[in-house]
């Protein structure tokens, strides 16, 4: 495994729409492993492929230690409710802001074996899924922020 360089705001790759993964190859599996290592090394809870310069619809999320969601070609298929909370991003270091997101989401994706699955998430996990999936469409949380926060407020 290798730790990857995280791209930061201002890098054009973060504003591009990612292409779907057509086939689960050894390269895709290596990317998943490297993204998990990179996310953990940066103390993040999620990481999307464009954040490491790869324009593919791949993201990883781990809000609880050891419970990793590998999302290939993820799509939000249902959402409900509303929550406002603080968000940060590994690609926007040192900045935090309030963002309104769905309270509940159901995500459909492929796993590393190419099998389709669905997961319904609530609260913080729902927020993390929304945040990472938006990266795949060239969007950053700062596009939706209602108010930036100081580090003391976060």
Whether residue 115 lies in the annotated active site: no
Selecting among 132, 134, 152, 153, the annotated active-site residue is 132
Place of tokens 């040192």: 94
Token pair of 146 as six digits: 């209602």
Q: Residue 112 belongs to what H/E stretch? A: none
Ramachandran category for residue 82: left, alpha or beta (phi over 0 → left; psi -120 to 50 → alpha): beta
Structure letter (DSSP) for residue 56: B
Catalytic residue IDs: 132
């Amino acid at each position: 495994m290798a730790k990857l360089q995280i791209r930061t705001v201002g890098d054009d790759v973060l504003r591009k729409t990612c292409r779907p993964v057509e086939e689960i190859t050894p390269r895709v599996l290596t990317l998943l492993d490297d993204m998990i290592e990179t996310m953990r090394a940066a103390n993040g809870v999620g990481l999307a492929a464009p954040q490491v310069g790869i324009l593919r619809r791949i993201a990883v999320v781990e809000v609880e230690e050891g419970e990793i969601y590998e999302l290939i070609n993820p799509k939000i298929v249902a959402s409900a409710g509303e929550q406002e909370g603080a968000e940060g991003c590994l690609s926007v270091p040192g900045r935090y802001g309030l963002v309104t997101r769905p309270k509940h989401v159901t995500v459909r994706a492929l796993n590393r074996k190419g099998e389709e699955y669905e997961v319904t998430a609530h609260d913080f996990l729902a927020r993390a899924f929304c945040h990472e999936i938006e990266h795949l469409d060239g969007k950053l949380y700062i596009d939706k922020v209602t108010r930036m926060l100081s580090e003391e407020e976060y």
